[in-house]
Every structure is written in structure tokens, then in C-alpha cells.
């Protein structure tokens, strides 16, 4: 059954990561089904902007086909009541990190309780996200489908490891990326660091304090980011919070050892193909992991080999088949 699929994406001002990971399977379905794609016109979480987005989705909904909300703006499900709808949930950060009780209550119902009640099908990108979502619903039909790594860009690229002065790649500069602690863990170690993302005042301060040799790059294309993976010797990704953790897979695909946090969902994504830090708030643990990867060639080679195998679980063909089963379940 090949119903037409209409995809709705959040406004790019909210970030392009969801659109990028969704585009991997959307491009596949463009070849096999009739597909329409829309990006909602407003970003802010104000009542007026949310109402305008709801009106936009209502006007562009497909009464006969399947409507897929690809993530973040969960409340838009309310414009699809009576239609076949799929909601992909990436994380629960809107409920977890709101500062005031009023905002937490507002987001609890508009982003989670009501959308989860009315969505035809619900997909989470990790088991960790699914467990977190169960605070807001008693539904037992939630499916876990991870993000796919983009094999049109990422592939294996072997490189001789520079143990004397490794080039270390950090992806992202948000509050959850833990960059300041990572920089302090590198203090005094011989290395060169590339940080992708806009530097915050706190990160700038950490660079000044630690004197770590850093370069900062922003506004890169996916191919340029892949080039940075190829140039790097290892990837440092000790986040405090993630809905998924795509840099783990990208490092696996490129053939780079990756150091990450042993917090959900990182082990779910990395399996046995990553070097884990038990407590990412402990600078000493991060430092020891860096020294272990740098100093143990056999350990590095084992991580790289296991990483290439681990990445196969997240190939586009696997993820596309999983979404096809969701669409065909209506």
C-alpha cells in the first residue's frame, strides 16, 4: 500500500539537524512513493506563532494520505486530528529543561500529552527517548526507529593516527555538549582541537584558561563536516544530554575512535564501538579516556573495527524499511 506521504519540518531557525537526518529516508521515499514536503513558517514557542503553524499544517494536511511530523513541533499533531498521522519524537528536552513550572506545564500538554494522545503512530529515535516519553502516555504501540547515517556523504576513510599530537574533533557547542569540561580535560596534553559550532562565552573562557590549541568552524556543509572527520584522529563527544548522538555513528562510519558518555542513549547507539566515560561531569575521567585512546594502538584499532560493524545497524536501507512498515500499518 503506497499512500502519499506529506512531511512537515520545523522552521530552520530552530536548527537543521532534524531536517538533515529525516532527509535521508525522505529522499528514499521520493523514489518509491508520492511525497510532499512543507516547512512551517514560524519558529518561536509563543502562542500566536504556534497557532499560525497549526493553521499552516491544517491547510496543507493530506486528508487521504499520511502526514508525518518529523520532529520537535509535536503540537502540530492537533491540526491533523481525523487524518492519518505519524509523529517522530527525538527527545523530551522541552519538558525537561523549562525553567518555570508554568512553562513545564504548558509544554507538558502542548508538546507531549495531547500530541501523544492524538497521533496515529508514534516513533522515537531511541529506546531512551521512548522510556522518557512514557511519563506522558500509557500507549504501548510506540515504535523505536533510530536515525540513519547518511551514506551518500559518510564513508570509511583510513588515517594513520598521530599519537604525538592527535587532532581531536568536537561537534556542537550547546549547553549539553560539555565542551568546557572536555577542554579542561585536554589541558596540558599535546593535541589540536577543532570545535564545530558557535562558541559561547563559557567556551571562550575555557579556551583562554586551558590554552588548548583550538580552531573554531561554523556554518559548514555536511560534506565539509565529513572532511573534518577525515582529518581528525579521534572524536570527543562527552555530552550531558542527547536524544540520539549522531556524531558517534559518523565517527564509526569514517573510521575514527570516539569517546562518549555512558549515559542514555549513547550506549544504545555506540554499542561496543565507543570508549565510554562513566561520569561526563568528571574531568579526570574524560582525560583518562583521551589518554587511553591516544596511547593504546590495539584498543584504537579495535574500536575502529567495531565501529564499522556497528554503523551497519543504522544504514539508510534499514531505517527506510522500518518507516515503510509504520506507513503500511495504517
Average pLDDT in the 5-12 region? 95
Pair (120, 175) in one structural domain: no
Structural domain of 214: 167-313
Pick from 75, 99, 74: which is nearest to 88 by CA?
74
Q: Is beta strand 121-124 parallel, antiparallel or unpaired with respect to 143-144?
A: parallel
Tell me if 24 sits within 8 A of 316, measured CB to CB. yes
Collapsing DSSP to helix, strand or coil, 242 comes out as coil
Q: Is beta strand 167-171 parallel, antiparallel or unpaired with respect to 192-196?
A: parallel
89 phi-psi bin (left φ>0, alpha ψ -120 to 50, beta other): beta
Domain total in the chain: 2
Q: What are phi and psi of 145, to 5 degrees?
A: -130, 115
73-82, 95-104, 120-129, 186-195 — which is least confidently predicted?
95-104
pLDDT > 80? residue 1: no
Residue range 55-93, pLDDT digits in tens: 999 999 999 999 999 999 999 999 999 999 999 999 998
For residue 218, the domain's CATH number is 3.40.50.2000
Distances (CA, A) of 324 to 13, 32, 68, 71, 82: 29, 10, 12, 17, 21
Residue range 12-50, pLDDT digits in tens: 888 778 888 999 999 989 998 999 999 999 987 789 999
Pair (175, 302) in one structural domain: yes
Burial degree of 36 (CB within 10 A; 0-12, 13-18, 19+): middle
Q: What pLDDT sits at residue 93?
A: 83
Pick from 238, 233, 234: which is nearest to 285 by CA?
238
Tell me if 258 sits within 8 A of 252, measured CB to CB. yes
148-152, 289-293, 298-302 — which is least confidently predicted?
148-152
Residue range 232-279, pLDDT digits in tens: 999 999 999 998 999 999 999 999 999 999 999 999 999 999 999 999
pLDDT > 90? residue 100: no
Residue 154 lies in a domain: no
Pair (188, 133) in one structural domain: no
Q: C-alpha angle 47/48/50, rounded to 5°?
A: 65
Q: What pLDDT sits at residue 94?
A: 81
Residue 155 lies in a domain: no
Q: What is the mean pLDDT of the chain?
A: 94
Residue 153 lies in a domain: no
1-10, 118-127, 187-196 — which is least confidently predicted?
1-10
* DSSP run (H or E) holding 19: helix 17-32
Q: What pLDDT sits at residue 177?
A: 96
* DSSP assigned state of 198: P
Amino acid at each position: 500500500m503506497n499512500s502519499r506521504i506529506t512531511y512537515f519540518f520545523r522552521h530552520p531557525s530552530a536548527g537543521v539537524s532534524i531536517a538533515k537526518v529525516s532527509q535521508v529516508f525522505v529522499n528514499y521515499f521520493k523514489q518509491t512513493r508520492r511525497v510532499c514536503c512543507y516547512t512551517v513558517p514560524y519558529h518561536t514557542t509563543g502562542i500566536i506563532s504556534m497557532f499560525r503553524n497549526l493553521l499552516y499544517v491544517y491547510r496543507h494536511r493530506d486528508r487521504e494520505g499520511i502526514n508525518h511530523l518529523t520532529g520537535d513541533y509535536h503540537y502540530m499533531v492537533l491540526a491533523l486530528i481525523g487524518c492519518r498521522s505519524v509523529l517522530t519524537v527525538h527527545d523530551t528536552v522541552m519538558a525537561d529543561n523549562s525553567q518555570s513550572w508554568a512553562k513545564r506545564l504548558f509544554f507538558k500538554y502542548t508538546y507531549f500529552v495531547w500530541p501523544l494522545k492524538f497521533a496515529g503512530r508514534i516513533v522515537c529515535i531511541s529506546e531512551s527517548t521512548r522510556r522518557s516519553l512514557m511519563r506522558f502516555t500509557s500507549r504501548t504501540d510506540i515504535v523505536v526507529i533510530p536515525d540513519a547515517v547518511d551514506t551518500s556523504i559518510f564513508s570509511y576513510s583510513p588515517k594513520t593516527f598521530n599519537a604525538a599530537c592527535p587532532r581531536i574533533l568536537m561537534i556542537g557547542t550547546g549547553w549539553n555538549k560539555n565542551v568546557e569540561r572536555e577542554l579542561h580535560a585536554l589541558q596540558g596534553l599535546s593535541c589540536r582541537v577543532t570545535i564545530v559550532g558557535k562558541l559561547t562565552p563559557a567556551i571562550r573562557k575555557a579556551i583562554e584558561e586551558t590554552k588548548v590549541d583550538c580552531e573554531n568552524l561554523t556554518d559548514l556543509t555536511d560534506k565539509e563536516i565529513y572532511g573534518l572527520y577525515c582529518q581528525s584522529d579521534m572524536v570527543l563527544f562527552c555530552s550531558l544530554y542527547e536524544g540520539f548522538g549522531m556524531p558517534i555513528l559518523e565517527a564509526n562510519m569514517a573510521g575514527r575512535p570516539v569517546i562518549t558518555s555512558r549515559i542514555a542513549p549513547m550506549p544504545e547507539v555506540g554499542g561496543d564501538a565507543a570508549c565510554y566515560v562513566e561520569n561526563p561531569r568528571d574531568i579526570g575521567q574524560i582525560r583518562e579516556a583521551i589518554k587511553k585512546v591516544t596511547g593504546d594502538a590495539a584498543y584504537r584499532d579495535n574500536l575502529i573495527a567495531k565501529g564499522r560493524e556497528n554503523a551497519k545497524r543504522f544504514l539508510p536501507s534499514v531505517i527506510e524499511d522500518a518507516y515503510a512498515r509504520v506507513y503500511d500499518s495504517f
